Amino acid sequence: MFTSSAPVVRKVRKGLSSDALYELVRNAFGQLPDHRHQKASIPLADALSSAFAMFSLKDPSLLAFDERRNDQNMKTVFGIGQIPSDTQMREILDPLEPDRLRPVFNDVFRQLQRGKALEPYVFHDGCYLLALDGTGYFSSNKVHCDSCLEKKNKQTGEVTYQHQMLGAAIVHPDHKEVIPLAPEPIQKQDGSTKNDCERNAAKRLLRKIRQEHPRLKLLVVEDGLASNAPHIRDLLELGMHFLLGVKPGDHAFLFDQLTEAFEQDHVTTMSWKEGDVTCEIGFTHRLPLNESNQDLLVNFLQYAEYAADGHRRKYFTWVTDLRITRGKARHLVRGGRARWKIENETFNTLKNQGYQFGHNFGHGQQNLSVVFAMLMMLAFLVDQTQQLCCPLFRAVWKKLRTKRALWDNLRSHFRHFVFTSMQHLQEVILHDLAKELPAPPLDTS
Ligand SMILES: [Zn+2]
């Protein structure tokens, strides 16, 4: 029985509670074709669910996860039939093509759409802001696999092996949660000896996103690296709007045109005060992106902040295909600045808030490192969905204050008591009911 002082939790949105999401992910894993030829003793879905559980519980290593093999909560909470050993998990997942996991992300995304949870993320004219950015998560001089990027030190000849990925997430300036889509590995492509790069990965990723979400209206936000003509033409061809950073150093021709536009009074400006700070927006339309692509015209938007002494303390500049008006300019500036959420709320959360992104769970010879990174991103998507939609999750987080404390409590409860579901476990943490639970039977194996 809950005590009367216990916090009241509103009803969890159907289909978006932790247990409903775990079931959705498990069913999606069950739909994936098994890449192994001979009849395997451990189903692929169980191996994938086990790795997903490892990242959901934020286990620090595959070895730590291995200690859960006899834990009956693995069956009741995550619905896993047969739990592989750490060696079996590596062997099963290493040959798996990482792209096979994309439909699982899409299933969660569609559940968010069905639950109307994405509606508050519409940013402008029916469009969602899609932030893209690359990050590295593995680097070694020794450990490597077929898909590692290779960097050779010109002086010493020493080779560094790396893994990077291009992340994509729906973001909104008013919302802390981000909705990651399936990322694109930046890796050596099949049969190629050449290194891959973020630009090629973006080309592949945007095509996949368009194929998977043919009618999704998107406004793509990226940093200055993306403001090149081939990429912008790609975006337009895929029916995606863009709002991309530009830098005076990299786009000298564009900024010369801007100076000219200012001189001819073709730039609309507006300014306002926020305390001592003066904020200023300027925009103009139809400037050529660069000298060699003068047919590619873009609209230009800039935002600056000046301290009381006149010193410019912030300056941001973007190009876009959207028509900018006085009424829309401030909103677009907020959208452009929300790009940092892919770095801060996505990659930094994965690196610093218990997800162990960048840690080595086992590298494999083919795809294991990439498959693990994708599954970690999937666990993050499910966590973000719970944070966004599940009042019970939010209440537990609020009670424990930090994500780290939340994951620590989750793991220790999971280890020491028997639960019927994740909701059961979360309710026990929320209402301090652990002492009333029966202890699990002693492990005599
Ligand atoms: Zn590798």
Distance CA 406, CA 391 (A): 15
Q: How far is the CA of 201 from the centre of ligand 1 (A)?
A: 16
DSSP structure class, residue 58: T
Distance CA 83, CA 414 (A): 16
Q: What are phi and psi of 302, to 5 degrees?
A: -135, 150
Look at residue 19 in the predicted model and tell me its pLDDT: 95
Are the beta carbons of 320 and 241 closer than 8 angstroms? Answer: yes
Q: How far is the CA of 364 from the centre of ligand 1 (A)?
A: 7
Q: How far is the CA of 266 from the centre of ligand 1 (A)?
A: 51
The whole model's pTM is what?
A: 0.93
Q: How far is the CA of 140 from the centre of ligand 1 (A)?
A: 9
Look at residue 115 in the predicted model and tell me its pLDDT: 92
Least Cα distance to 83 among 39, 51, 37, 61 occurs for 51
Are the beta carbons of 376 and 349 closer than 8 angstroms? Answer: no
Helix (H) or strand (E) holding 152: strand 149-152
Q: How far is the CA of 142 from the centre of ligand 1 (A)?
A: 10
Look at residue 212 in the predicted model and tell me its pLDDT: 98
Q: How far is the CA of 65 from the centre of ligand 1 (A)?
A: 22
Least Cα distance to 53 among 22, 85, 32 occurs for 22
Q: How far is the CA of 134 from the centre of ligand 1 (A)?
A: 17
Q: How far is the CA of 362 from the centre of ligand 1 (A)?
A: 10
Look at residue 191 in the predicted model and tell me its pLDDT: 63
Q: How far is the CA of 101 from the centre of ligand 1 (A)?
A: 18
Residues near 230 by Cβ (< 8 Å), separated by ≥ 6? none
The neighbouring-strand residues paired with 282 are: 269, 302
Q: How far is the CA of 342 from the centre of ligand 1 (A)?
A: 23
Q: How far is the CA of 159 from the centre of ligand 1 (A)?
A: 13
Query: What are the pLDDT tens digits along the chain (445 aa)?
Result: 444 444 445 555 678 999 999 999 999 999 999 988 767 789 999 999 999 999 999 999 898 888 888 899 999 999 999 999 999 999 999 999 999 999 999 999 999 999 999 999 999 999 999 999 999 999 999 999 988 999 999 999 999 999 999 999 999 999 999 999 999 999 877 666 677 889 999 999 999 999 999 999 999 999 999 999 999 999 999 999 999 999 999 999 999 999 999 999 999 999 999 999 999 999 999 999 999 999 999 999 999 999 999 999 999 999 999 999 999 999 999 999 999 988 888 888 888 888 888 887 889 999 999 999 999 999 999 999 999 999 999 999 999 999 999 999 999 999 999 999 999 999 999 999 988 877 666 655 4
71, 161, 188 from 141: Cα distances, Å: 37, 6, 17
Look at residue 8 in the predicted model and tell me its pLDDT: 47
Ion ligand 1 residues within 5 Å by Cβ: 145, 148, 369
Q: How far is the CA of 143 from the centre of ligand 1 (A)?
A: 7
Are the beta carbons of 282 and 297 closer than 8 angstroms? Answer: no
Largest CA distance in the chain: 84
Distance CA 281, CA 320 (A): 15
Signed CA dihedral, 93, 95, 99, 103: sign only: negative
Q: How far is the CA of 188 from the centre of ligand 1 (A)?
A: 9
For tokens 């062997």, the residue is 91
